[in-house]
Structure 1
Amino acid sequence: MSIRIKREDAPREASELPVAPMIDVVFLLLVYFMVSSSIQKQEADIGFSLPATVETSEPVPFSDQQIIVIDSDGRPWVNGYAYDDPGEGSYLKLAQMLSRYRQAAEASQSKANVSIAPSDATAHQMVVKVMDACQIAGLSSVSFLSES
């Protein structure tokens, strides 16, 4: 017993993938992600000085300064008081306090100095948020302290 296989005389056409609907879907996805994404304010450029060690024979008089300690969670602390929640977009309460500090320093004809002291586990984004708050407050003298 033999089995016969029917052969078609005409060759089969190669199957093609329709490209136009795929391009439409890609553009729709692109538009969706552009519309649903959030636009964040660009970071401000703030001048700051890095910590350094200097040996002197006499004590150096220091002007009044505010030290902003940033804990590992990203919460800024000034004089034992916590400002703003790390989950917020920007540190507005901290910026308002620093603005009042700058105004008081200008009224007493002294320079407003701010030092930022982040912990080793602090995310860089939180340090940038504190720097943005300093820029919003109009502070020009911002420096960093390292943990010892």
Structure 2
Amino acid sequence: MKKKRSHRRKHSSEVNMGFQIAPMIDVVFVILLFFMVKAGDIQVENAHITKLPGTVPTDTATDMPDEIAVLVEDDGQVYLNEDPLDSPESKDLPQLTGNLAALQDSAEATKSKVLVTIYANELAKYSRVVDVLDALTRAKITNVTFQAGAPE
């Protein structure tokens, strides 16, 4: 008589297939193929030849504008190119305004620009910097930059 073999099905948790490397290699090759195809569509930026408007060579040297430094100290004292002007309590800054207006007038006469850099110390009050900006507005100076700390 034949013996019946009992075939017991293993549950899926009992089956250990191990790490399958073949599907991983297939995925890597598909991704590699995708990037190789996309790399052919990229245009090189230096292939575009553009000419910017207004780039005309000149024979004469261009004069750079004079830079004026305005320093605002912690105590409210304002310096124009290392010369103290007005008192720390003066809100209108008449000396600073007068000097800046004279500089602006001389710059207009020579057809040059006036650049003003405001150096404000770390503990200088914002209201004092606004006072300096008001003085620049009264002197009709529009080219203004800011820098924190003392000038180097």
Question: Normalising to structure 1: TM-score of the pair?
Answer: 0.56
1:146: how far off?
A: 2.4
Identity %: 26
- Distance in 1 separating the partners of 2:117 and 2:140: 14
Amino acid corresponding to residue 110 of structure 1 in structure 2: S
Aligned to 2:89: 87
Q: CA offsets, 1:101-140, max 9 Å, x none?
A: 0011111110111110010010001000000000011111
- Distance in 2 separating the partners of 1:126 and 1:62: 29
Aligned to 1:99: 101
Amino acid corresponding to residue 95 of structure 2 in structure 1: K
Computing the radius of gyration from Cα coordinates, the structure with the larger value is 2
1:95: how far off?
A: 0.4
Considering Cα pairs closer than 8 Å and 6+ residues apart, tell me whether 1 or 2 has the greater RCO: 1
Aligned to 2:116: 114
Aligned to 2:136: 134
Aligned to 2:72: 70
Structure 1 gaps of 5+ residues are 1-60
- Distance in 2 separating the partners of 1:118 and 1:147: 6
Structure 2 gaps of 5+ residues are 1-62
Q: CA offsets, 1:11-43, max 9 Å, x none?
A: xxxxxxxxxxxxxxxxxxxxxxxxxxxxxxxxx
1:68: how far off?
A: 0.2
- Distance in 1 separating the partners of 2:139 and 2:65: 19
How many residue pairs match? The answer is: 88
Secondary structure at the aligned position of 1:73 is classed as coil
Question: Normalising to structure 2: TM-score of the pair?
Answer: 0.54
Amino acid corresponding to residue 140 of structure 2 in structure 1: G
Amino acid corresponding to residue 128 of structure 1 in structure 2: V
**Runs of 4+ residues over 6 Å off in structure 1:** none
Q: CA offsets, 1:79-106, max 9 Å, x none?
A: 2210111212311110000000001111
Aligned to 1:18: none
CA RMSD of aligned residues (A): 1.5
